[in-house]
Structure 1
Amino acid sequence: MSNALAIEPVSPHLLRSLREHVHERLRRAIVAGTFREGERLNERQLADMLGVSTTPVKDAIRMLESEGLVRTEARRGVFVEFSARQALEMALGRAALESVMTHIAANRISQAEIAEMSRLIDEMAHATEHGDLEDLVNLNEAYHGMIHRISGCGYLERRLDGQRMYDHAQRIALLGEPSERARGFEEHRGIFEALRAHEPARAEQRMRSHIVRSAKSHVRQVFGADAEGLDYDE
């Protein structure tokens, strides 16, 4: 086939099913605090809001229930399960796993990977300065993904898969705030400095502190007064 007749591939997001799109929208709304803990979700109203039939909404709710974000009560309906305590507990789980991965990555990181991560830090600095939210979120996820890859801890990374939706929603919310963007970048740079120096204990501690500190900020941002009294040591 001639190059002139080549066709661009279909964008991956267009290949996703309607159910997946509805699931993502509802999941993001719950994690962002649009629907509060204990609130009843009306399938017909959700379908009208989203401009779809109730079928993909029902499918999405089943998926949300498997993720622990909603619960279904016989003859009563569907209720939001996500709370400030659950959000913080999820972050503590992530901090435990990812800090260990960072410890291992500090022992394994090569000079080529240090150079690659240094370039990523430069891109993050530029995006932080210019406030490009989409770039910041993508670079943030690339940064953490690179540490996962360097650690080689496939098993631990799979354990993190179940809460990626929360991590993504948290990043969108937090990185929209200029002060959080700046603080988050400095923490990422500090973690990188420990990785580059092959200091596993310092890298582990900095990653844990970064994740827990960010989670506390997000919980206060989303849940407000409901987050009072929830305090875990870093």
Structure 2
Amino acid sequence: MPLEPSSIKSPPLYQKARDVLRLAILRGQLRPGERLAETQLAEQLGISRTPLREAIRQLQAEGLLRQDEGGLAVPALDLAEVELMYECRIALERLAVRRAAERADGESLARMRAALENARAAMQRGDLPELLNVNVDFHREIALAGGNPWTLRLLEQLWSQMVLFRANALSAPEDEEQVLREHEAVLERIAARDPGGAVARIEAHLQGDLVRGRRALARARSETRGHEEVAG
């Protein structure tokens, strides 16, 4: 059957709802640990509960929402667990960046530069979900350039579990700019064929992410206490 241009529809309601909720979670408008009611969400989004439930299902698959005996909620961030993940991530990314500094060719370096350009564009648009994606693209290109598929596989698992924390680490415009500068410094050392320098830069960058994330979580807790005191 030939396809008619008129048959191309706008994104389904569940996709629009998913994108609105994802952005609210990543920007901290829906905070880690916050309980959500389906009826209230459907009313706020102006949709029925059927597309909302599909949006929720997809966000659960991304780890951005969870359902338990207490109902629907944004997952609470366990800082101790995050720090353990970063311990593993730093070890793996040290290996990846060392190998990249030894092995990266012109095409690999070009893809890293393109990822940084995409990050700058996402920052200028204020597109946080895309910024999170392209920042991971930069790290992924480093691992690909290193040529160890096991490093990349293990890092993919870690990155997928860190979305909420990484969003908190980019909770202010100055944090976004700082991360971009740190990425540029890593790329500079890779391009200079300086494995030791590249390792030092990636470790400083990831430790900086931890500091930024802790600071954002502390700020969010302070704001929550302030709201509770006002409400009380």
Alpha-carbon distance in 2 for matches of 1:43, 1:163: 24
Distance 1:32 1:88 in 2: 21
**2:187 is equivalent to residue 192 of structure 1:** yes
Query: How far apart, in 1, do the equivalents of 2:72 and 2:14 lie?
Result: 18
Give the partner amino acid of 1:187: E
Q: How far 1:150 sits from its partner (Å)? A: 1.5
- Counterpart CA distance in 2 for 1:142 and 1:40 is 32
- Give 1:26's match in structure 2, choosing from 6, 21, 24: 21
For residue 75 of structure 2, the aligned residue among 53, 56, 81 is 81
In the alignment, which of 125, 132, 142 is matched to residue 124 of structure 2?
Answer: 132
Q: TM-score, normalised by structure 2?
A: 0.65
The alignment's TM-score, normalised by the length of structure 1, stands at 0.65
CA, structure 1 residues 157+218, in 2 after alignment: closer, same or farther (shift >3 Å)? closer
Please state if 1:221 is matched with 2:216.
Answer: yes
Instruction: Please say if 1:101 is aligned against 2:96.
Output: yes
Q: What amino acid is aligned across from residue 194 of structure 1 in structure 2?
A: R
Query: What does the per-residue CA deviation read over 1:140-163, in whole Å, with 9 as the maximum and x for residues that have no partner?
Result: 455334323322334235324524
How do 1:3-152 residues align onto structure 2 when only pairs under 5 Å count? 17-74=12-69, 76-83=70-77, 85=79, 94-114=89-109, 116=110, 120=114, 123=117, 127=120, 132-133=124-125, 137=131, 140=135, 142-152=137-147
Cα distance, 1:101 vs. partner?
2.1
Match of 1:208 among 203, 210, 213: 203
> How far off its partner does 1:203 sit?
1.5
Deviation of 1:113 after TM superposition, in Å, equals: 3.6
Q: Distance in 1 between matches of 2:16 and 2:91?
A: 30
Aligned to 2:160: 162
Change (3 A) 1:15 1:162: farther
Q: Take 2:92 and 2:197, find their aligned partners in 1: how far apart are those partners?
A: 15
* Residues 72, 88 of structure 1: alpha-carbon distance in 2 compared, 3 angstrom cutoff: same
| Contact 1:33 1:222 (8 Å CA) reproduced | no
Unpaired segments of 5 or more residues in structure 2? 223-232
Kindly provide the amino acid, as one letter, of the partner of residue 80 in structure 1. Answer: V
Matched residues in 2 for 1:55 and 1:16: separation?
15
Task: Could you tell me which runs of 5 or more consecutive residues in structure 1 were left unpaired when the two chains were aligned.
Answer: 1-6, 228-234
Q: Which moved more, 1:89-98 or 1:102-111?
A: 89-98
Find the aligned partners of 1:225 and 1:168 in 2 and give their Cα distance.
14
Q: Is the partner of 2:171 in helix, strand or coil?
A: helix
Give the structure 2 partner of residue 4 of structure 1: none
Pairwise CA RMSD: 4.0
Distance in 2 of aligned mates of 1:170 and 1:33: 7
Contact map agreement 2:169 2:212 (CA 8 A) in 1? no
**Once the two structures are superposed, what CA deviation does each residue of 1:117-172 show, in whole Å capped at 9, x if it has no partner?**
685499589x59xx724599376455334323322334235324524744774576
Deviation at 1:43, TM superposition (A): 0.4
